[in-house]
């Protein structure tokens, strides 16, 4: 079935259902103060405040893969900064918010610069240390009550109306939270959101797609801190009292618990987790005394037991359970493409000669005393398919990594389009015209095929953080959704554009990687074992695709073990053995080369 034969996807019903449920939920929420007691309203206010800090952690951990224990500390920075501005300088709480946001921005940038370079368990441990240090700092502020805390903070005023009662504060807190939730959802569905999602595939994937992993994590770290800061500001001016104990490590752990309990993979998880922890703890405190049990000593035990049971039955948190009963947010409709419309490669068509596009000269890579690649040299001509073959461990993937910028060679040079790119970072190579796939498939399984391919076009889009949040990127997104759909059509996956990538077979996932690379409009494709896992028919389709790409002016360098696939497709072959150049030539020349037969094909009888 072709794209032209498909019926357009009907989004109206789903969109109407989503908007109706969302509207009813918001209406019910805003009506709650009319029916609840002041205590319950206060409890909901605390849920909303902590949901803001939890939302920052959901974005940071669930989307960016960074675990932080410092959210409560950033809440404290927001609260104490505003307390100083209002109580010591006599200024408005709104100026206190501006000062708090500015200070938290500087602090998170400084901490992030030091911390986010770390990996593994060192990163969360470092944020834990920062959280303790900031909490201890609050206790040394004698002018703001030190360990005893300080009260008398003025309420926030909006249009001359003081938010000095729980009912008024409720609307301010929850309208703010709802705006944050929609903004976060918009962000995750934008260019920046796809960059964030790429981090979950590892820094190598992000860098290969032209995404700075460090800058993206820094953006998330600062955003999480600012969300916590706003929560701390609201806490200070609605509770009218703050002390260091409100922002200690225990509350930092509680925020982390909220994110896990609600589900770090969902924006809704921030609200669900904060509500479950705050309301659940209050219920436990009410129920245990009724059973003649000591609430103080057993509260954490009961809560911990409930949490363990929940994790066993729903390891992704509560939000996926609730999502089953809620209509999903509708995705934009697929763009219309004509039956004969194909993906165009602008940069590959700019050059129609057969000049050298890629030159490797004396390339060498050492890992301590191990030489992975030694004195390797070869040229790739424009508009050809070039194969790099050799036994396992011959250094083929290492060579790919050095060419694409994921590893720096110990010595030697790499030239691309006449420019030396030996030590150019991988994130800059895709904009120069080089895109690649991986030996071990790197896709985002929970994203649709279309969004996975859109990641490949990341460098071509220009919309930034605010454009994504405010949905100012719609025209650009629509244009490149069409590009992504045409890339899927090129590899035969367009009819599954809105399917989650994790449901594909291994062979289809490799085809998806190729489509993602094509969306970058490259001049040269680096394909690492593209035929691995493909059935005979799929290999024939892949060979036909690569031949069409060659005819369109694309240059291809591939690593492959299937000799039948290679010999019938490529123009030239380079053979590696133990990291060294063994032979080079046309397929027939390589097939008849005795050294290749001995080293790679098992020798002659």
- Alpha-carbon distance 177 to 303, whole Å? 26
In sequence order, what E strands does 50-156 have?
A: 150-151
pLDDT for 1: 34
Q: Output the pLDDT for position 296.
A: 59
Instruction: Answer positive or negative: Cα dihedral of 132, 137, 139, 145.
Output: negative
The arithmetic mean of pLDDT across residues 247-275, rounded, is 89
For residue range 335-383, list pLDDT tens digits in order: 888 887 888 877 666 555 678 999 999 999 998 888 889 999 999 999 9
Residue 33 three-state SS: helix
Rounded mean pLDDT of 25-31? 85
Q: What is the pLDDT of residue 216?
A: 92
Note the pLDDT of residue 392.
81
Mapped onto helix, strand or coil, the DSSP state of residue 363 is strand
Please tell me the predicted confidence (pLDDT) of residue 348. Answer: 63
230-to-79, 176, 274, 511 alpha-carbon distances in Å: 8, 9, 16, 45
Backbone angles phi, psi at 225, to 5 degrees: -65, -40
- Per-residue pLDDT band for 12 (boundaries 50, 70, 90) equals low
Residue whose C-alpha is closest to residue 56's, from 167, 281, 219: 219
Sequence-distant (≥ 6) Cβ neighbours of residue 437 within 8 angstroms: 510, 513, 514, 516, 517, 525, 526, 527, 528, 530
**pLDDT category of residue 294 using cuts at 50, 70 and 90:** low
Handedness of CA 182, 320, 262, 107 (dihedral sign): negative
CA–CA distance, 298 with 295 (Å, rounded to integer):
5
Taking Cα atoms as reference points, which of 183, 187, 182, 161 lies closest to residue 172?
161
Q: How far apart are CA 468 and CA 489, in angstroms?
A: 27
Task: Enumerate the β-bridge partners of residue 373.
Answer: 365
| Residue 116: Cβ within 10 Å count | 21
* Mean pLDDT of the 494-519 span: 92
- What local confidence, expressed as pLDDT, does residue 484 receive? 93
Identify the band that residue 600 occupies on the pLDDT scale cut at 50, 70 and 90: low
Residue 364's beta-bridge partner residues?
Answer: 411
The structure tokens 């260019």 sit at: 191
- pLDDT tens figures, 402-426: 999 999 999 999 999 989 999 999 9
Within 10 A of 362 (CB to CB), how many other CB atoms are there? 12
Give the mean model confidence (pLDDT) for residues 203-223: 91
Question: Would you state the pLDDT for residue 62?
Answer: 80
Q: How crowded is residue 21: how many other Cβ atoms within 10 Å of its Cβ?
A: 13
Is residue 300 predicted with pLDDT exceeding 80?
no
- For residue 172, the model assigns a pLDDT of 94
Place of tokens 């024939």: 540
CA distance 246 to 75: 9
Residue closest to 363 by CA, chosen among 440, 429, 420: 420
| Percentage with pLDDT > 90 across the chain | 51
- Residues, the chain: 605
Query: Is 356-601 a CATH 3.40.640.10 domain?
Result: no
Residue 3, pLDDT above cutoff 70: no
Q: Return the minimum-mean-pLDDT range out of 61-65, 107-111, 419-423, 504-508.
A: 61-65
Counting Cβ atoms within 10 Å, is residue 475 exposed (0-12), middle (13-18) or buried (19+)?
A: exposed
Q: pLDDT value at position 357?
A: 93
What integer pLDDT is reported at residue 7 of this predicted model? 39
Distance, in Å, from the CA atom of 283 to the CA atom of 297, rounded to the nearest integer, reads: 15
* CATH number corresponding to 28-324: 1.10.3470
Q: Which two tokens stand for residue 20?
A: 């109706």
Quote the CA–CA distance of 58 and 67 in Å, as a whole number. 9
Of 557, 596, 519, 521, the C-alpha closest to 400 is: 557
Checking if the pLDDT of 302 tops 50, the result is yes
DSSP-derived pairing of the beta strands 419-420 and 434-436: unpaired
Q: Encoding tokens for residue 332? A: 């934009």
User: What percentage of the chain exceeds 70 in pLDDT?
Assistant: 92
The residues pairing with 525 across neighbouring beta strands, listed in sequence order, are: 435, 556
Contact 387, 558 (CB under 8 A): yes
CB-based contacts of 241, cutoff 8 Å, min separation 6: 149, 150, 151, 152, 153
**CA–CA gap between residue 266 and residue 263 (Å, rounded):** 6
Higher pLDDT: 196 or 284? It is 196
Spell out a b/e string for 28-61, using b for 16 or more CB atoms within 10 Å of the CB, else e.
ebeeebeebeeeebbbbbbbbbbbbbbbbbbbbb
Mean pLDDT of the chain: 87
Q: How many CB atoms lie within 10 A of CB 266?
A: 23
CA distance linking residue 224 with residue 72, whole number of Å: 11
**In this model, does residue 522 exceed pLDDT 90?**
yes
pLDDT digits (tens, 9 = 90+) for 136-193: 999 898 888 898 999 999 999 999 899 989 999 999 999 999 999 999 999 999 999 9
Please report, for the chain, the start and end positions of each structural domain, with discontinuous segments joined by +: 28-324, 356-601
If one compares 4 and 247, the residue with the highest pLDDT of the two is 247
pLDDT category of residue 116 using cuts at 50, 70 and 90: confident
| Whole-Å CA distances, 338 to 46, 375, 475 | 53, 49, 20
Contacts of residue 137, defined as CB under 8 A and 6 or more positions apart, other chains included, come to none
pLDDT for the residue 282: 82
Strands in 204-275 per DSSP E: 241-242
Quick one: three-class SS letters along 485-546?
HHHHHHCCCHHHCCCEHHHCCHHHHHHHHHHHHHCCCCCEEEEECCCCCCCHHHHHHHHHHH
pLDDT at residue number 115 = 86
Quote the pLDDT of residue 515.
Answer: 94
If DSSP codes are grouped into helix, strand and coil, which group holds residue 521?
coil
Tokens of 41: 């309203």
Instruction: Report pLDDT for 45.
Output: 95
- Each residue of 544-574: pLDDT tens digit? 989 989 988 899 999 988 888 899 899 999 9
Strands 411-416 and 370-381 come out as unpaired
Collapse the DSSP code of 467 into the 3-class scheme (helix H, G, I; strand E, B; otherwise coil) and give the result: helix
β-strand pairing of 241-242 with 161-162:
unpaired
- State pLDDT tens for residues 461-479: 999 999 999 999 989 999 9
The tens digit of pLDDT for each residue in 37-58 reads: 889 999 999 999 999 999 999 9
CA distance 183 to 108: 21
pLDDT band at 100 (very low <50, low <70, confident <90, very high): very high
User: What's the Cα-to-Cα distance from 111 to each of 7, 63, 123, 520, rounded to whole Å?
Assistant: 52, 20, 11, 34
The full 3-state SS of 298-321, as one line of letters, equals HHHHHHHHHHHHHHHHCCCCCHHH
Burial 445-466 (b: 16+ CB within 10 A, else e): eebbbbbbbbbbbbbbbebeee
Task: Lowest mean pLDDT of 20-34, 308-322, 535-549, name the range.
Answer: 308-322
């Amino acid at each position: 079935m072709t794209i032209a034969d498909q019926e357009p996807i009907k989004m109206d019903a789903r969109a109407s259902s989503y908007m109706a449920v969302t509207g009813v939920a918001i209406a019910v929420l805003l009506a709650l103060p009319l029916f609840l007691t002041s205590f319950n309203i206060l409890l909901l206010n605390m849920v909303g405040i902590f949901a803001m800090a939890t939302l920052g952690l959901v974005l940071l951990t669930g989307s960016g893969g960074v675990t932080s224990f410092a959210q409560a500390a950033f809440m404290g920075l927001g609260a104490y900064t505003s307390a100083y501005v209002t109580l010591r300088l006599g200024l408005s709480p709104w100026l206190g918010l501006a000062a708090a946001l500015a200070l938290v921005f500087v602090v998170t940038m400084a901490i992030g610069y030091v911390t986010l370079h770390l990996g593994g368990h060192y990163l969360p441990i470092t944020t834990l240390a920062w959280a303790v240090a900031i909490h201890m700092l609050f206790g040394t502020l004698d002018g703001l009550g030190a360990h005893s805390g300080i009260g008398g903070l003025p309420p926030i005023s909006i249009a001359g109306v003081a938010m000095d009662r729980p009912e008024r504060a409720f609307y301010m807190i929850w309208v703010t939270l709802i705006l944050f939730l929609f903004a976060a959802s918009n962000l995750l569905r934008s260019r920046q959101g796809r960059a964030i999602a790429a981090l979950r595939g590892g820094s190598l994937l992000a860098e290969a797609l032209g995404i700075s992993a460090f800058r993206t994590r820094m953006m998330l770290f600062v955003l999480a801190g600012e969300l916590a800061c706003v929560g701390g500001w609201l806490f200070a001016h609605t509770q009218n009292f703050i002390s260091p104990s409100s922002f200690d490590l225990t509350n930092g752990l509680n925020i982390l618990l909220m994110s896990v309990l609600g589900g770090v993979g969902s924006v809704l998880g921030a609200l669900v987790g904060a509500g479950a922890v705050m309301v659940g703890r209050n219920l436990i405190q009410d129920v245990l005394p009724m059973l003649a049990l000591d609430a103080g000593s057993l509260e954490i035990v009961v809560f911990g037991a409930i949490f363990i049971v929940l994790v066993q039955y729903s390891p992704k948190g509560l939000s996926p359970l609730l999502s089953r009963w809620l209509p999903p947010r509708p995705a934009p409709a697929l763009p219309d493409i004509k039956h004969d419309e194909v993906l165009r490669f602008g940069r590959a068509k700019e050059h129609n000669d057969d000049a050298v596009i890629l030159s490797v000269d004396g390339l060498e890579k050492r890992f301590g005393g191990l030489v992975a690649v030694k004195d390797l040299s070869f040229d790739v001509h424009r508009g050809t398919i070039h194969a790099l073959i050799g036994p396992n461990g011959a250094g083929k993937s290492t060579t790919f990594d050095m060419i694409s910028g994921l590893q720096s060679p110990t010595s030697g040079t790499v030239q691309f389009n006449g420019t030396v790119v030996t030590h150019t970072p991988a994130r800059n190579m895709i904009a120069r015209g080089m895109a690649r796939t991986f030996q071990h498939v790197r896709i985002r399984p929970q994203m649709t095929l279309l969004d996975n391919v859109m990641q490949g076009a990341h460098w071509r889009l220009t919309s930034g953080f605010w454009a994504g949040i405010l949905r100012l990127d719609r025209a650009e997104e629509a244009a490149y959704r069409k590009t992504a759909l045409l890339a899927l059509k090129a590899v035969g996956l367009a009819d599954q554009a809105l399917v989650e990538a994790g449901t594909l077979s291994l062979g289809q996932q490799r085809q998806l990687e190729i489509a993602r690379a094509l969306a970058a409009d490259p001049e040269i494709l680096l394909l690492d074992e593209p035929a691995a896992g493909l059935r005979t028919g799929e290999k024939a389709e892949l060979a036909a695709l690569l031949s069409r790409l060659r005819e369109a002016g694309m240059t291809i360098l591939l690593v492959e073990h299937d000799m039948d696939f290679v010999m019938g497709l490529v123009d030239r072959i380079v053979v590696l053995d133990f990291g060294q150049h063994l032979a080079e030539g046309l397929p027939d020349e390589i097939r008849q080369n005795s050294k290749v037969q001995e080293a790679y094909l098992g020798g002659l009888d």
